[in-house]
Amino acid sequence: MGSGRLYGTVAVGGFRRYATYRAATAAGVFTNTVFGVILVYTYLALWDERPRLGGYDQAQAVTYAWLGQALYATLAIQGGGAEKELMSRIRTGEIAVDLYRPADLQLWWLAGDLGRSVFQLLGRGVIPFTFGAVFFTMALPRSAATWAAFVVAVALAMVVSFAIRYLAALAMFWLMDDRGINQTVMIAGVFCSGMVLPLNAFPEEIGSVVRALPWAAQLQVPADVLMGETSLWTAYAFQAGWAVALLALGRLLQAAATRRVVVQGG
C-alpha cells in the first residue's frame, strides 16, 4: 500500500471510530447548543455596553460564539483528541508497537486525528452552528468563495491543533504523568484560542501576545476569514507557518524521545 493510501486509510478509520459513538455525539450537540445560547446572550449584553468591541458588531460577535461551539470538539480545544490515546500508550509502553510499524509515527497520529476532526465538525459542529444561524442574526458570507476559503482555514487549524497536542503528548516520555499535561492543554486551549472571548477584544497588552501565539490559528483566524476581517494570504501564512514550525518541533522531539526509548531498552 502506498504511503498516501495508508494514511488515508488511517484517517478514514479515525472518522469511522468516532462515528460509532452516536449517543456521545448527540449529547455533544445538545451541550454545544446550550452553551452557545448562554454565550451568545452574554456577548449581546457585553456588546450592548461596548459596541464594536474588538472591531466586531453584534452580528459578528454572535457568529464568533457559534463558530466556537462548532469548532470546540473539532479542534479539541480543551484536549481529548489523539493525544489522549498517545499519552496512554506512552505510559503503558504500548508505544513500542507504534514505533515498529512501517509508518511514520507523527503522520500516523496526524491522519487519525484529522479523521476525528472531520467527523466532529460534521457530526457535532454543523447542527449548533445551523441552530445559531436560524435563531440569531449572524454575519455570514454569501459568497461561495468565502466559504471555500473558510474551509481551508479550518483545515489548517486542524493541523495546528494536532501539532500543539502532539507536542504535549510527547512530553509523556519524560514526565510519565498526563494529569499536569492535560490541565495545561485545557487551560491554554480555552484562554489562548479565544474560546471564551475573541482575542481581538483582549486588552492590547495581552491581546498582541495571544494573537501571535499558535492557538490564535485555531479559532480567531478562521472566524476572521469567515467574516472577511483579514487578508486570506495573511491568515494562511500565519496558520501554515505555525503548522510547519510545530510539526518540525514535534519531529525533533519525537527523535529525541525515540532515542530515549532505545536507551531504556524499550
Tell me what pLDDT residue 265 has. Answer: 44
List Cβ neighbours of 106 (8 Å cut-off, separation of 6 or more): 166, 247, 250, 251, 254
- The single-letter code of the amino acid at 21 is Y
Q: How far apart are alpha carbons 54 and 199 in whole angstroms?
A: 8
What is the spatial distance between Cα 214 and Cα 221, in angstroms, rounded to a whole number?
10
Residue 221 C-alpha cell reads as 483566524
Count Cα atoms within 13 angstroms, Cβ side, for 227.
21
93, burial (CB in 10 Å: exposed 0-12, middle 13-18, buried 19+): exposed
Given this model, what pLDDT does residue 29 score?
96
Q: Cα(124)–Cα(145) distance, rounded to whole angstroms?
A: 24
Q: What is the pLDDT of residue 81?
A: 86
Return averaged pLDDT per consecutive 10 residues of the chain, 266 residues in all.
82 94 94 96 96 94 97 92 90 86 91 96 96 96 96 98 95 87 91 92 92 96 96 96 97 86 47
> How far, in Å, CA of 136 to CA of 42, rounded?
13
The SS3 of residue 73 is: coil
Gap between the terminal Cα atoms of the chain: 28
Residue with cell 447548543: 33
Grid coordinates representing 194 are 479565544
Residue for grid cell 507504534: 98
| Residue entry with cell 496512554 | 88
Report d(CA 113, CA 109) in Å as an integer: 6
Amino acid identity at 84:
K
What is the structure's pLDDT at 260?
A: 63
pLDDT of residue 266: 44
**Polymer length of the chain:** 266
